[in-house]
Structure 1
Amino acid sequence: MTVDEVISALERAWNDGDGDAWAARFAEDADFVDVVGRVQHGRAVIAAEHQKIFDTIYRGSRIEIRPVSRRPVGDAVVVRTESTLEVPAGPRAGTTRAIQTKVLRGGEIVSFHNTVRIDGAAFAGHDEELAARRPLGWNDRGR
């Protein structure tokens, strides 16, 4: 599968609430790091863990995944995507934006890291000055 086909298949699987279809895009021994930092190893685990969230906190949710960049690295492709998730009800109701880094080899995802995008000021303890700094400049306050 091409990168665009993989992304489309992931989006379809999520919107169908189908954990097996979601995991089908992953290599058998893939790693998936979710938005709270849990590492899921292997297609079967990725399928089961996604089915849990499709059946509970993300029931009825809709996701849009947009490719941002891609670059070859050896026999793999590193792909960055952005997503917008709309959850209709429950504890995660509302809109969540995230960014993902995927490594694909042979049309399969071998590594996937998902990170929720949050307001920089909130993350920085409502320190607007710190939040406005570029990430590498966060340590230049002498702290």
Structure 2
Amino acid sequence: MTTHNGSPTIGANGSSDPADDAIRALWETMARGWAAGDATLFAASFATDCDFTTVRGDKPPGRAGIEAGHDRLFRTQYAGTRLDARVTAVRHLRPGLATVEAESTVRAADGTALASTHALAVVERTGTHDGPDLWQVVAFHNMIPATAPAGSAAPEPAKAAPVASEPAKAPTETGRPKMRHLAIVARDPERLAEFYSSVFSMELFHRDPDGSCFLSDGHLSLALIKHRLDGDTPVGMNHFGFHIADTAATSAALIEKGADKPAERFTDRPFAEYRAMDPEGNWFDLSEHGFGGPRTPGDS
């Protein structure tokens, strides 16, 4: 059994509760799998039919989907990274069933924090009474934590800001798209991020391993994309993005105006799902989920 704040209860022999140890070991296995780039080991903590929800609201199909998604991550933007995973609370609902709160930070090889998430999970005991104390994650909801602006009072529970990674509501009652995203290709994203955070109080909420930085003012996200010397993308403004209510309807409207059909983007991170182009060749993104980062209370 655990205390309310997640600290393990110490038994008479000086050891913590075996069930809690077995539950915490699930997150230790995830961390080992992540460090090794081994998606099979990472996914071993999850039940075959685990109900898994990503930070952007996607639901990969069970353990196989979790493994496939993380295999892509380990081969692309999170190659060579590690996961610091911390179980912060365990609540036993009944024997063999518990909820778990956990915090995770993805770190680059030099220890730089790239992304942080909070998760609420349901775990279930699978071992027999006479066998080892084995558990599996049967439900897992990952979230990007919302951070209150510096100096502001903590909101009352009933008025808390929505979690940053919740699928956003329709942009407005009329469905009018909202411009929510700008992207700049920069030689030194870290320096620009410090500039915009210092002068305009924007919040840095994500880093890519290549040094790209993502900031938000609570309404609009700003991507500072690392310039590649061997690439042909020029420094400066690159694209913008709209938060939309209906991808199919927007695509149809674009095609009717003579534009190409929007192309699906790489979607393993919680930003735009589609890329499109206006008649003069300017790029823009389309997203039903939003563009990540903290949002202000009451923002749609």
The structure with the greater share of residues assigned to strand is 1
The one of the two structures with greater contact order (alpha-carbon pairs below 8 A, sep at least 6) is 1
| CA displacement at 1:119 relative to structure 2 | 3.0
8 Å Cα contact 1:78-1:103 kept in structure 2:
yes
Are 1:137 and 2:151 counterparts?
Answer: no
The structure with the greater share of residues assigned to helix is 1
Residue correspondences, number: 131
Secondary structure of the corresponding residue to residue 39 of structure 1: coil
**Residue of structure 2 equivalent to 1:62:** 82
The structure number with the bigger radius of gyration is: 2
| CA displacement at 1:109 relative to structure 2 | 0.6
Secondary structure of the corresponding residue to residue 86 of structure 2: strand
Are 1:102 and 2:121 counterparts?
Answer: yes
| CA displacement at 1:94 relative to structure 2 | 4.5
* Percent identity over paired residues: 29
The normalised TM-score by structure 1 is 0.79
Q: Can you give the 5+ residue segments of structure 1 that lack an aligned partner in the other structure? A: 122-127
Secondary structure of the corresponding residue to residue 30 of structure 2: helix
Are 1:43 and 2:71 counterparts?
Answer: no
8 Å Cα contact 2:54-2:143 kept in structure 1:
yes
Residue of 140, 143, 147 corresponding to 1:119: 147
| CA displacement at 1:96 relative to structure 2 | 1.7
Q: How large is the Cα RMSD of the aligned pairs?
A: 2.5
Are 1:79 and 2:100 counterparts?
Answer: yes
The normalised TM-score by structure 2 is 0.40
| CA displacement at 1:4 relative to structure 2 | 1.7
Read off the aligned partner of 1:47 and give its amino acid letter: E
| CA displacement at 1:135 relative to structure 2 | 4.3
Are 1:9 and 2:29 counterparts?
Answer: yes
* CA deviation profile, 1:20-79 (whole Å, cap 9, x unmatched): 111111111101111111111211111111101111111111111111100112341101
Residue of 48, 70, 83 corresponding to 1:28: 48
* CA deviation profile, 1:71-96 (whole Å, cap 9, x unmatched): 1123411010111211359xxx8532
| CA displacement at 1:14 relative to structure 2 | 1.0
8 Å Cα contact 2:82-2:106 kept in structure 1:
yes
| CA displacement at 1:134 relative to structure 2 | 3.0
CA distance in 2, matches of 1:51, 1:68: 26
Secondary structure of the corresponding residue to residue 117 of structure 1: coil
**Residue of structure 1 equivalent to 2:72:** 52
CA distance in 2, matches of 1:88, 1:15: 10
CA distance in 2, matches of 1:8, 1:138: 31
Secondary structure of the corresponding residue to residue 102 of structure 2: strand
Q: Can you give the 5+ residue segments of structure 2 that lack an aligned partner in the other structure? A: 1-18, 126-134, 162-297
CA distance in 2, matches of 1:138, 1:102: 21
CA distance in 2, matches of 1:65, 1:134: 28
Residues 138 and 105 (structure 1), Cα distance of their counterparts in 2 relative to 1, 3 Å cut: closer
8 Å Cα contact 2:91-2:99 kept in structure 1:
yes
